[in-house]
Amino acid sequence: MAEHHHRARKSVAREAAAPFTIPVDESLPSIEALPGTELLIEVEGVYGHLKSELIGYHGGRYLVLRTPVGPTGLSGKLFRGNTLVVRYLEEGRAIGFQTTILSSTLEPEPLLFVACPKLLQERSLRQAQRLDTYVICKAAIQGRVVDGTLIDLSRAGFRCILPTHITDGVLRPHVGDRLVLNAELDGRTVQLSGVVRNVSEFPASVRLGVAFDENDRASEAHVFQFLLKEGVEV
């Protein structure tokens, strides 16, 4: 009997020491924020908003955040299972989600591992409502013409995705570059022109946010008519 009891205790000890694994769930929404994005965090049981930073993520497994600096007693609230509310800005949108702490570490620096969110909440901060599109286009920028995709459109401007690896080298757009885009809207080719206001780089492509030229009345008129027809409030 004593021997059996001893074995049972050893079995429990081995189970407690088993590594913590996080199941993959590819059905969860993807996070488009890039590493380095500034975050505001609310920790359950701690008053106020704390500053943090997105360090990285493993899709469907976890996000890695820089452990925020906060009031005395904060470390006691950063335990596994406690709830966080995370918010950040992305190209005129306020994104928020709720998550739970999975683990934390102090070495090589203080980091939090949190669960991937099950739901992302989004609120537009733009004055102009945007229409999501998926239109193949041609874009002229930095003296080159490349094929791309127009992904959204508003009276104020548009966003497009362009490849960075092209036949004559590597395309590296910058804020302030001028861009002229030709796309088919409502059955006819429309030329849109503007100035690059933000750049998001990816391994083989770049996403550009472009503001229309203030004097480009033709682009504004075409877009205005197209958005009205699509039922967008302009």
Query: Is-contact 31 47, C-beta < 8 A?
Result: no
State the CB neighbour count (10 A cutoff) for residue 55.
Answer: 17
Tell me the two tokens of residue 63: 């996000």
Say which range, 10-24, 107-121, 132-146, 218-232, has the weakest mean pLDDT.
10-24
Question: What pLDDT score does 13 carry?
Answer: 36
What SS3 state is found at 44?
coil
pLDDT beyond 70 at 120: yes
pLDDT of residue 230: 76
* Long-range contacts of residues 217-221, Cβ cutoff 8 Å, at least 24 apart: 218/191, 219/190, 219/191, 219/192, 219/193, 219/194, 220/155
DSSP per residue over 35-54, as a string? TT-EEEEEETTS-S-EEEEE
- This prediction has a pTM of 0.47
Q: Band of the pLDDT at 81, cuts 50, 70, 90?
A: very high
Q: Does the structure show a pLDDT above 70 at 22?
A: no
* Structure confidence by residue, pLDDT tens digits, 135-194: 999 999 999 999 999 999 988 889 999 999 887 788 999 999 999 999 998 888 989 999
Residue 123 has pLDDT above 70, yes or no: no
Place of tokens 């488009």: 32
pLDDT of residue 99: 94
Per domain, the residue ranges of the chain are 23-124, 131-229
Q: Which amino acid is at 57?
A: Y
Q: Which of 34-38, 142-146, 224-228, 230-234 has the lowest mean pLDDT?
A: 230-234
Determine the distance from the C-alpha atom of residue 124 to the mean position of all C-alpha atoms in its chain, rounded to a whole number: 14
pLDDT at residue number 124: 62
CATH of 23-124, one of 3.40.50.300, 3.40.50.2000, 2.30.110.10, 3.30.465.10: 2.30.110.10
pLDDT reading at 74 higher than 50: yes
Region 124-132 average pLDDT? 69
Of all residues in the chain, what percent carry a pLDDT higher than 70?
79
CB contact set of 79 (below 8 Å; sequence gap of 6+): 101
Superfamily of domain 131-229 in the CATH hierarchy: predicted glycosyltransferase like domains (2.40.10.220)
